[in-house]
């Protein structure tokens, strides 16, 4: 794979940004037109909802929005399944963790406005393609998403940046721009930040 170097502490969800438990920087949440959830410490306008740090984790100040508390607990909860799937499809578990962190923050019930569901935010077509009948089932969802990553790695000759761009924006978008990362700010940020997560996780997970 073409691995990007360096680690930027600002992570974008799909890009999700989380700091160490002892940090107390303000974090803001925004859901874009595609239904993607963005967490950042630099809000651009009033549409960003401020999250507050509590002893339980990050919680929205506003009701009715997604909760991102207990991230580490949820990561541990799904680590066993991720290990099994990573071994089965011969992908780095750190890469799977990076994508899941960005896509859903380990929330198996996460649903986007676009209709993506589960830990790896599978769309109906992708789920059908990989035989996923229950997108909320952690094992099925991770298996489907991991197979998709594997096939994208083959399609793009292990170019991780293009793989992530296609996972975010679709293979058609990558093809439209002559096998380059589409000029969508969301996708460009997604690629950078998932790679940042990956670089972070592979130091501790391999």
- For 28-83, the DSSP string reads EEEE-TTS-EEEESS--STTSEEEEE-SS-EEESSTTS-----HHHHHHHHHHHHH
**Catalytic residue chosen out of the listed positions 59, 72, 103, 186:** 103
- Reference 145, options 175, 166, 159; nearest CA is 166
99/146 Cα distance (integer angstroms)? 10
Q: Which two tokens stand for residue 155?
A: 């399609």
Closest-CA residue to 167 (of 60, 150, 21, 196):
150
Q: Tell me, yes or no, if 59 is annotated catalytic.
A: no
CB 162 within 8 A of CB 181: yes
Within 10 angstroms of residue 78's Cβ, the number of other Cβ atoms is 20
Residues with catalytic roles: 103
């Amino acid at each position: 794979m073409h691995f990007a170097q360096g680690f930027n502490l600002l992570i974008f969800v799909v890009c999700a940004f989380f700091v160490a438990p002892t940090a107390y920087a303000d974090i803001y949440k925004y859901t874009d037109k595609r239904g993607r959830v963005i967490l950042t410490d630099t809000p651009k306008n009033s549409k960003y909802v401020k999250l507050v740090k509590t002893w339980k984790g990050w919680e929205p100040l506003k009701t009715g929005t997604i909760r991102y508390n207990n991230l580490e607990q949820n990561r541990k909860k799904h680590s066993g399944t991720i290990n099994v799937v990573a071994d089965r499809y011969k992908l780095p578990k750190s890469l799977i963790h990076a994508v899941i962190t960005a896509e859903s923050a380990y929330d198996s019930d996460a649903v986007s406005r676009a209709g993506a569901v589960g830990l790896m935010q599978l769309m109906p077509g992708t789920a059908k393609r990989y035989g996923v009948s229950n997108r909320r089932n952690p094992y099925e969802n991770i298996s489907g998403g991991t197979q998709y990553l594997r096939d994208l790695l083959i399609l793009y000759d292990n170019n991780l940046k293009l793989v992530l761009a296609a996972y975010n924006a679709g293979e058609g978008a990558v093809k439209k721009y002559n096998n380059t990362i589409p000029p969508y700010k969301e996708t460009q940020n997604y690629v950078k930040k998932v790679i940042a997560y990956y670089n972070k996780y592979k130091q501790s997970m391999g």
